[in-house]
Structure formats: C-alpha cells, structure tokens
Amino acid sequence: MKRPVISAFTFAAIAAFASAGGAQVVQTQSGAVRGHESGDADIISFKGIPYAEPPVGALRWKPPQVVKPWRDVRDCKTYGPISLQRKNWDKGGQSEDCLHLNVWTKKNFKDAKRPVMVWIHGGGFTQGSGNQGKTGGDGLAGKDVVLVSINYRLGALGFMTHPALSAESPRGVSGNYAILDQIAALQWVRDNIVNFGGDPNNVTIFGESAGGTSVYLLTATPLSKGLFHRAILQSPWLDPVIFRDLKKETDFGPAAEFDGTEQTNRLFDENVKNVLAELRAMPAEELMEKVKQRWPVATDGYVFPQRPTQIYAAGRQHRVPTIVGTNRDEGTMFAGRQGFKNMQDYREALVERFGDNADRMIEFYLKDTNKDLRKAAVQLVTDGWFVQPARQFARAMDNQGSDVWMYHFTKPVRGWMGAAHAAEIGYVFGKLENPILEDAKLSDAFMNYWVQFAKAGNPNLEGLPEWPAYITDSDRHQLMDSTIETGTGLRCDACDLLDQVRGVEMKTTEVLSSRD
C-alpha cells in the first residue's frame, strides 16, 4: 500500500495556489484540486477527492490501489459518491466507486501546519458516509484545525471473507477491506495534507459507533503505525461477537471464511467453476441485495495479528493519547427492535447469549419478572455493547502507559430516546439547529475539548471545567451535560459483572442485535 512518487505530478511537496471567486487550487501527489468557499466564508472545502482507485471490476475485494494521476485541475465542489448500502437506495449518490475524502481548511493556509482531524463515520459498517449533514467540517475547521472526512467500503464490499478470496491473496487473507481503505486514506493525509495547511505529524482520528470501532481497530493494527498521533472514540460499538478468526472456529464462532462459503452456496449452483469470477461479474447493487449486510471483522494474521482484545490486553496497541466515551441511553436505538414479548422470551435470549451466567444477568438487570422489560434490555445493550468495552479499552490504554480521558454524555436531546446513540455528534461538529443557549455552550465545550486535544494531546483548556485523566484505580470520567462535572465509577457494578462473565459469554448467535 506504499504510494510511489509520481514524478510528473509531485512538485517538491509544495502547494500550488490560485484563487479566484472564492476558489483555490492545491496540488496533491495525484494532481491539482480546486476547492470552494464552504458554508463559512472563512473556510475552503475540497469535496470528493479520490484517495484510491475505484475498487470495481477486478479490484472488487482487493486492497485499495494507488489512484491514477490526472492532468487537468479536478473541481471539488461536490461530494463524491458514498459506498453502496441497502438503506436509502432511492436517494442516489451511491456507487461502488466510493473511495473519496473531503477536506475543510481555513483560508490563507499556506505553510500553516495546523492540527489535522480525520473523521470516520459510523453506521454499523453497513451504512452511512462521511458526507452526512451533521458532520460538515466548517465548525471545527474554524477553530484552526484541518478537518478531513472519508468514505470507505461497507457491508459485503468492505468485509466479505471467502476461502477463494484468501487463496488469491498474496498474504492468504480476505476481509477487512474497509479497514485497509481507512489506512489508505490516512496515507493520503500523510502525503498531501501539508499542502492544505495541515501538519502530517499531528493527526487525530475520531469516529462514532462503527467509526469509533474503526478508531479502536486502527489503534490495534500494526499497519497504521505512525499515520496518526491521537485518537477519539465516540460510542465505539465493541460487542465481542463482531470479531471472528478468519480460518478457525473458536469460542467466538465459526471461521469468518465460513460466512462467505455459506453465502455463495446460496447464490450459485455447485457446478460453478470460478466463484470469484461470478461474484465480480455480478452488478454491485444486485450483490448487495442478495448477500447479507453484516460481516465480521476478521482476525487474519495480517491486518490483525491477534484478536483485537488480545492486542490490547498484551499492550501491543499504538501508544497514543486517547479520549473515549459513551452516551447514557445508547440502547434506546437498538432495544426497540428486539421484540421481547415476556420474561421467558427475554430469558431465552440471555441463555443463548450468556449461557450459565444468564441467571446472574437477569438478577442484576431485571429483579421483577416482566417489569420494565424494555428498560432492562436497553440498559444491557448500553452496558454490554458500549460502556463496559469502553472501560476495558480505557484501562488497556492506561495500563500501557498512554494518557486517556473518558466522558459520558447524559443530556436527553431525543425525546423518549434520551441521550441516545449518536446524539452527541451535532454537538461535536457545531451542527445544532437553532440551539438554545445551554446547548450552544455544551457544543462549544465539546468542540474546544476536541480541538485542544488535537492540538496538544490533552483536552484541558483554560475556561473549561477541568477534565481529569482516566486512571484505572480512580475510574473518573467527565459528565457532558448542561453542567459539566466529573463523575466516578461509571456503571461500575454492571461493568464488573460483564468483566466476569465475558470469558464464557462469547456465543456465535447475535441474539441481542438480530431480533428485528
């Protein structure tokens, strides 16, 4: 994935500037791009810059390839296509050719060397994009950082595993193409961002939900070493069942390659001689409709030499300052799909997931039969998918010697859903619609903490409430609400219980995420 020097288009790594009518031209290693005034007149945005070749045809299910250079100035006024995904087919703007990124930077950025923040979107690795409205880069870029957002392959296009794909790979692996896309985007940032006024030696990656999971994974894989220097994980989705071994059946489930075999057996007659040729000949839209959406992250010996939790437990992750946090009501977005009718239905789900520990979980989360059944399900999802894994991550970083800060967002902003999953994103990007004063102040605090962290590796800034670092023994976190204050022992009893049962809990069935 190393990018060769393209002599005809590399100009001593110096930006070529030309401005007229709010437009500005910048040279990249692949060619010149023209940016335009963004929503903020002080900000120039460059949208839809390709960072790798279109992953189509023979490049479907291949690592991202170096983008071919172009000669004319590429106009970057509109976003590039987003990755194909089942949701919202009718809205358009989707394509298998999706490996594009966007840059926002303040005007007069020549030689600025500002901190860089790279946003990785969420969506369960099956939907979403870096083009979403609440994540436009004007607000953060206005605080003297260069903001980058990226698209990457999703669903089967980003994660499909199959023995035939592994066999054709020089490394004998398949899957994790989306993570390789993210690494390629970070390589693009390293090689080009100085020309947009950014400092390639001060890059912060941040993301929410599956974007937070991506940050978790990028902090674990050796392939991303040196490409970023700080990390922010917002509500990382770290349910243990999403990680599987590529080739071996384990306590966590069958080999990830089994999923590809099972799916292609459903698609093709057993007499098909070249499964990969058939798969690559199939139109991408048809493929995405016919195969399953969700695929595991594969421990393949290459992108991930070990299961990510093992990498963190052994202290082999990258040593970078980190912020990690969760929202109080994460589970309201997911528990409504579960459809538990009564206590017996709920108990069967817990037995399937937790085995012999099901009774302990019921006793903790649901002391009264059939009372507050949905509330118990919401809290278990919140704790099991987000809060406990986030604490486990924070402790792994602390144990390794990395500075880490933890937050918990508790402001109820989505009606009955409360402080729901993803509810903090608008605050982080300054994209609240007609905010009341306390929301505007909280958004400004979020942005200032995030930007100060990107600048200095520590979120503390004069004028903001002090945010103590996370230390395992003191277990402190910052409560983000109308009033910002420090808390201790976030969901401590629940996290301790989940720590105890997680050793035997890893079942293959994704009961709590599939009852819809």
Q: What is the pLDDT of residues 401-459, one digit of tens each?
A: 999 999 999 999 988 899 999 999 999 999 998 899 999 999 999 999 999 999 999 99
Q: Where are the domains of the chain?
A: 19-197+255-297, 321-514
Distance, in Å, from the CA atom of 388 to the CA atom of 475, rounded to the nearest integer, reads 12
Give residue-wise pLDDT tens across range 146-156.
999 999 999 99
**High-pLDDT (> 70) share of the chain, %:** 90
Alpha-carbon dihedral angle through residues 247, 250, 254, 255, given to the nearest 10 degrees = -10
Give residue-wise pLDDT tens across range 100-143.
999 999 998 988 999 999 999 999 999 999 998 777 899 999 99
In the DSSP assignment, the letter for residue 5 is P
Residue 490: its pLDDT value, please? 98
Q: Is the pLDDT of residue 344 over 80?
A: yes
Of the listed ranges 307-316, 432-441, 499-508, the least confidently predicted one is 499-508
What number of other Cβ atoms are within 10 A of residue 31's Cβ? 19
Residue 514: its pLDDT value, please? 34
What is the CATH number that goes with domain 321-514?
Answer: 3.40.50.1820
Which pTM was predicted? 0.93
Alpha-carbon dihedral angle through residues 266, 270, 275, 278, given to the nearest 10 degrees = -80
CA-based end-to-end distance of the chain: 39
The mean pLDDT of the chain is 90
Q: Is-same-fold flag (19-197+255-297; 321-514)?
A: yes
Averaged pLDDT, 323-349 = 85
What is the residue-wise DSSP string for 149-217?
A: EE----HHHHH---HHHHHHSTTS----HHHHHHHHHHHHHHHHGGGGTEEEEEEEEEEETHHHHHHHH
Q: What are phi and psi of 234, to 5 degrees?
A: -100, 115
Residues in contact with 19: Cβ distance below 8 Å, sequence separation at least 6, in sequence order = 25
389, 374, 346: which is closest to 498 by C-alpha?
A: 389
Q: Is the pLDDT of residue 272 over 80?
A: yes
Distance, in Å, from the CA atom of 255 to the CA atom of 158, rounded to the nearest integer, reads 17
Question: How confident is residue 88, by pLDDT bands cut at 50, 70 and 90?
Answer: low
Give residue-wise pLDDT tens across range 161-193.
999 999 999 999 999 999 999 999 999 999 999
For residue 237, is it left (φ>0), alpha (ψ between -120 and 50) or beta?
A: beta
Residue 17: its pLDDT value, please? 47
134, 133, 183, 177: which is closest to 154 by C-alpha?
A: 177
Six-digit token string for 287: 């493929």
AA identity, residue 401: G
Residue 470: its pLDDT value, please? 98
Residue 370: its pLDDT value, please? 61
- Residue owning tokens 């070249």: 274
**High-pLDDT (> 90) share of the chain, %:** 78
Six-digit token string for 227: 């490409």
AA identity, residue 429: F
Contact 427, 345 (CB under 8 A): no
Q: Is the pLDDT of residue 337 over 60?
A: no
Question: How confident is residue 512, by pLDDT bands cut at 50, 70 and 90?
Answer: very low
Q: What are phi and psi of 330, to 5 degrees?
A: -50, -40
Among all residues, which ones are annotated catalytic?
209, 330, 421
Contact 34, 25 (CB under 8 A): yes
Residue 339: its pLDDT value, please? 55
The rounded radius of gyration (Å) of the Cα atoms in the chain is 23
Q: Is the pLDDT of residue 504 over 80?
A: no
CATH architecture of the region 19-197+255-297: 3-Layer(aba) Sandwich (3.40)
- Residue owning tokens 């910052």: 478
